[in-house]
């Protein structure tokens, strides 16, 4: 187990290096830099701009900036300074990462808690109305693009007024009297993005759960259990279900990457202040180190997600050894 973790982490190092290299290369080869928007302002002198450029380190060749940044990250864990926000990138990313994490966590919970029972019902009542309904809903969930669903959610919120149309907190959030009130405010904002982001996963898990359970229900040990007098309910929940849950865990790793891409769009449509929104904001402002750090963070989350999926799989099924 430890060997697997160590090897995966070692493999990740060159990947992250190459990724940061590509990021810096691409940003430096697109037009303008962070200060470009100021150069047409008559109140700002050329000399001042040059001095600023030198202060931010943007007058150096891109590979030197890249090397310095990587060196800083490796030796001091320093992700650099945001040009725009004028605070350390790590502070900026910390809160945004937490927001994305909250959204991802709640939509994962939403998907799993609904998908497992739906899948069970569909498998147990195979080809009957509940199955048809569950399969239909799953198919629908797979086909609705995240952007469209997010826009429909905004439409729903705008027409009914039952939910906020975007953002994470209301304008008066900081004046709410108690922590509990503030929590409720955030939860209220969380509902629609959670559903929008969770529907895709819900569809995948339901279909997978259904076919897994159908497979295990045919197994000999389920028949044996029924033959020795175990009730159908116990046979399904205790014998079949546990084995059927197993392959679901592999899906987790894949789903994680979908969750990240999905969150990217949902955050941008519904103004959720997460990592994806920060990336687009920083990208349009050429806030170099913020872009580099968010892209790295996205890749790191993907790697960790895959690693967790592998570890869970090995922990859950002793037959799978960690190579």
Partner 1 sequence: MSETVRPKARLTDDGLSPGALAWRRLRRNRTAMIGAVVLAALYLLVSLGSFVSPYDPAARDYRAPNMPPTVPRFMDHEGRFHWRPFVYGYRMADPVAQRYEVDTSKRYPIRFFVEGYSYRLWWIFPSNIHLFGVDRPGKIALFGTDASGKDVFSRVLEGGKISLSIGLVGISISLVIGMLMGALAGYFGGLWDMLIMRFVEFLLAVPGLYLIIALRAYFQTQGVFGIGGQQITSTQMYIIIVVILAFVGWAGQARVIRGMVLAIKEQDFVQAERALGASTWRIITRHILPNTLSYVIISATIAVPGYILGEVALSYLGVGIQEPQVSWGIMLEQAQSASTIRNQPWLLFAPGAFIFITVFAFNFLGDGLRDALDPRHTQE
Residue 139 found at the interface with partner 1 (CB under 8 A): yes
The answer to whether the CB of 306 falls within 8 A of the CB of 186 is no
Candidates 72, 247, 261, 314; binder of partner 1 (CB under 8 A) is: 261
**By C-beta, is 168 or 265 nearer to partner 1?**
265
Taking the complex as a whole, the smallest distance from the CB of residue 303 to partner 1 amounts, in Å, to: 7
Residue 283 found at the interface with partner 1 (CB under 8 A): yes
- Provide Rg for the chain, Cα atoms: 24
What residues from 296 to 315 belong to the interface with partner 1 (CB under 8 A)?
298-299, 302-303
Taking the complex as a whole, the smallest distance from the CB of residue 153 to partner 1 amounts, in Å, to: 10
**By C-beta, is 36 or 54 nearer to partner 1?**
36
Specify the DSSP class assigned to residue 237: I
Residue 88 backbone phi and psi in degrees, to 5: -60, 140
Within 10 angstroms of residue 93's Cβ, the number of other Cβ atoms is: 21
Residue 1 found at the interface with partner 1 (CB under 8 A): no
**By C-beta, is 139 or 221 nearer to partner 1?**
139
The runs of H, that is alpha helices, within 161-178 are none
Cα 64 to Cα 57: distance, rounded to the nearest angstrom: 9
Candidates 15, 98, 315, 320; binder of partner 1 (CB under 8 A) is: 15
Residue 82 found at the interface with partner 1 (CB under 8 A): no
**By C-beta, is 49 or 299 nearer to partner 1?**
299
Cα 16 to Cα 189: distance, rounded to the nearest angstrom: 34
Report the number of secondary-structure helices (H) and strands (E) in the chain.
Answer: 12, 0
Residue 144 found at the interface with partner 1 (CB under 8 A): yes
Taking the complex as a whole, the smallest distance from the CB of residue 155 to partner 1 amounts, in Å, to: 5
Tokens of 166: 């975007």
Within 10 angstroms of residue 86's Cβ, the number of other Cβ atoms is: 8
For tokens 């890249």, the residue is: 66
Residue 225 found at the interface with partner 1 (CB under 8 A): no
Taking the complex as a whole, the smallest distance from the CB of residue 51 to partner 1 amounts, in Å, to: 26
Distances from the Cα of 5 to the Cαs of 9, 289, 305, 310, 320, in angstroms? Answer: 6, 28, 12, 9, 15
Residue 308 backbone phi and psi in degrees, to 5: -60, -40
Q: How many CA atoms lie within 13 A of 15 on its CB side?
A: 13
Residue 22 found at the interface with partner 1 (CB under 8 A): yes
Residues found near partner 1 in the complex (CB under 8 A): 15, 18-19, 22-23, 26-27, 29-31, 126, 139, 142-145, 147-148, 151-152, 154-155, 157-159, 165-166, 211, 214, 257, 260-261, 264-265, 268-269, 276, 279-280, 283, 295, 298-299, 302-303
């Amino acid at each position: 187990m430890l060997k697997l973790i160590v090897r995966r982490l070692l493999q990740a190092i060159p990947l992250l290096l190459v990724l940061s290299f590509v990021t810096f290369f691409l940003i430096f080869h697109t037009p303008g830099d962070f200060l470009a928007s100021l150069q047409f302002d008559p109140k700002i002198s050329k000399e001042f701009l040059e001095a600023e450029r030198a202060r931010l380190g943007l007058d150096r060749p891109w590979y030197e900036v890249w090397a310095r940044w990587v060196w800083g990250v490796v030796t001091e864990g320093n992700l650099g300074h945001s040009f725009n926000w004028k605070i350390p990138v790590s502070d900026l990313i910390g809160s945004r990462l937490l927001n994305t994490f909250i959204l991802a966590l709640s939509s994962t919970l939403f998907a799993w808690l609904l998908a497992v029972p739906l899948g069970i019902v569909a498998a147990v009542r195979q080809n009957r109305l509940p199955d048809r309904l569950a399969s239909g809903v799953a198919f629908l969930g797979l086909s609705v693009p995240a952007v469209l669903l997010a826009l429909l959610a905004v439409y729903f919120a705008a027409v009914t007024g039952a939910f906020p149309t975007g953002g994470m907190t209301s304008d008066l959030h900081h004046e709410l009297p108690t922590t509990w009130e503030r929590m409720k405010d955030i939860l209220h904002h969380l509902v629609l993005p959670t559903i929008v982001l969770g529907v895709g996963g819900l569809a995948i898990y339901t279909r997978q759960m259904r076919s897994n359970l159908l497979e295990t229900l045919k197994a000999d040990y389920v028949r044996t259990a029924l033959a020795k007098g175990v009730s159908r309910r116990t046979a399904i929940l205790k014998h079949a279900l546990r084995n059927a849950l197993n392959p679901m865990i592999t899906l987790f790793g894949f789903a994680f990457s979908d969750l990240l891409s999905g969150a990217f769009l949902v955050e941008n449509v519904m103004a959720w202040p997460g990592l994806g929104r920060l990336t687009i904001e920083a990208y349009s402002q050429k806030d170099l180190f913020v872009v580099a750090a968010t892209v790295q963070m996205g890749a790191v989350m993907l790697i960790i997600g895959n690693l967790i999926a592998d570890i869970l799989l090995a922990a859950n099924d002793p037959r799978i050894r960690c190579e």
